[in-house]
Amino acid sequence: MALYPRRLQRLGTTTLVVSLPKQWAAERRLKPGDVVYIEVNGDRLTIYSREVAQEPTAAIISADEVEKPEILARIVASCFLQGHDIVKVTSNLGLTESQTQAILATVEWLPGFEVVEQTPRQIVLQAIIDPTKFKIEAVIRRLNVLVISMMGVAVDTLVRGVSEKVGEVLDTGKKLEELYHMAVRQLIIALKNPSVAHSVGIDSPIAVLGYRLVAKAIEEAGQHAISLAKESLHVRHKGITIKKSIVNKLVSIAEEVQTLFTNSVNAFLTLDLKMVNSVLDSLQGMMDTIETTERELIEEVDDAELSLSLRVSLMHFSAILDAVKTISEVALNKFVRMSTNIVQVATASQ
For residue 82, count CB atoms less than 10 angstroms from its CB and return exposed for 0-12, middle for 13-18, buried for 19 or more. Answer: middle
Residue 48 scores a pLDDT above 80: no
Among 58-72, 145-159, 197-211, 225-239, the range with the most confident prediction by mean pLDDT is 58-72
> 311 φ, ψ to 5°?
-70, -35
Half-sphere exposure for 305 (CA within 13 Å, toward CB): 10
**What is the tens place of the pLDDT at every residue in 162-204?**
666 777 888 899 999 999 999 999 999 988 887 788 788 887 8
Computed over every residue of the chain, the mean pLDDT equals 86
In Å, what is the CA distance from 349 to each residue of 14, 248, 345, 346?
A: 12, 57, 12, 8
**What is the tens place of the pLDDT at every residue in 238-255?**
666 677 888 888 889 999
Q: Is the dihedral of CA 148, 150, 152, 158 positive or negative?
A: negative
At how many degrees (to 10) do helices 166-192 and 69-81 cross? 60
Q: Taking the CB of residue 305, how many other CB atoms lie within 10 A of it? A: 12
pLDDT of residue 305: 80
Q: Provide mean pLDDT across the span 93-106.
A: 95
Q: Provide mean pLDDT across the span 19-32.
A: 83
Q: How far apart are the C-alpha atoms of 214 and 175, rounded to whole Å?
A: 17
Q: How far apart are the C-alpha atoms of 57 and 71, rounded to whole Å?
A: 22
Least confident residue range of 44-58, 136-150, 193-207: 44-58
pLDDT of residue 195: 73
- Intervals of CATH 3.30.110.20 along the chain: 58-127
- Intervals of CATH 1.20.58.220 along the chain: 132-337
CATH of domain 132-337: 1.20.58.220
- Which position has the higher pLDDT, 192 or 124? 124
Q: Please, where are the H alpha helices in 161-272?
A: 166-192, 194-200, 205-237, 244-270
Strand, helix or coil at 30? coil
Residues in the chain: 350
Least confident residue range of 3-12, 80-89, 108-117, 219-228: 3-12
Strand, helix or coil at 88? strand
Largest Cα separation within the chain, whole Å, is 84
pLDDT of residue 103: 96
58-127 homologous superfamily: Alba-like domain (3.30.110.20)
Q: Provide mean pLDDT across the span 263-283.
A: 95
Residue 269 scores a pLDDT above 70: yes
Band of the pLDDT at 35, cuts 50, 70, 90?
Answer: confident
Half-sphere exposure for 59 (CA within 13 Å, toward CB): 17
Amino acid at the residue 79: C
**What is the tens place of the pLDDT at every residue in 36-47?**
877 766 667 778
pLDDT of residue 54: 60
In Å, what is the CA distance from 280 to each residue of 264, 309, 326, 331?
A: 9, 28, 10, 11
Looking at the chain, the whole-number percentage of residues with pLDDT higher than 90 is 50
Q: How far apart are the C-alpha atoms of 227 and 200, rounded to whole Å?
A: 32
Q: How far apart are the C-alpha atoms of 263 and 327, rounded to whole Å?
A: 10
Q: Provide mean pLDDT across the span 259-267.
A: 96
pLDDT of residue 237: 67
pLDDT of residue 242: 73
Residue 79 scores a pLDDT above 80: yes
pLDDT of residue 238: 65
pLDDT of residue 66: 93
* Nearest C-alpha neighbor of 144 from the set 78, 219, 199, 85: 219
Residue 328 scores a pLDDT above 70: yes
- Which position has the higher pLDDT, 164 or 130? 130
> 145 φ, ψ to 5°?
-60, -40
pLDDT of residue 41: 62
- Which position has the higher pLDDT, 5 or 110? 110
Q: Provide mean pLDDT across the span 270-288.
A: 95
